[in-house]
Amino acid sequence: MTAEERVRILREAKPNSWVAFSGDESKVLAYGETYSDAIKAAEKLGESDPVMVKVPDNWSSRVFNHSH
């Protein structure tokens, strides 16, 4: 999964929620209102160490800076 795909997934998720990615970050496993909800859902799918990402509550205050 590319960085752009991850950003798109996060932008489409409910604000202030959590997204659980697989340990290798190749796919989305679960979404949750809380950290606990998302991690439990990922663990039910067999992922013992998901990558957890908090969705911002307001994207307008976020700036993405890519230095090359």
Instruction: Classify residue 62: in a domain, yes or no.
Output: no
Instruction: Classify residue 42: in a domain, yes or no.
Output: yes
pLDDT category at 63 given cuts 50, 70, 90 is low
Q: What pLDDT does residue 3 have? A: 86
Instruction: Classify residue 64: in a domain, yes or no.
Output: no
pLDDT in tens, 14-45: 999 999 999 999 999 999 999 999 999 999 99
Instruction: Classify residue 68: in a domain, yes or no.
Output: no
The answer to whether the beta carbons of residues 56 and 47 sit under 8 Å apart is: no
**How many distinct structural domains can be found in the chain?**
1
Write out the residue range of the structural domain in which residue 44 sits.
3-57
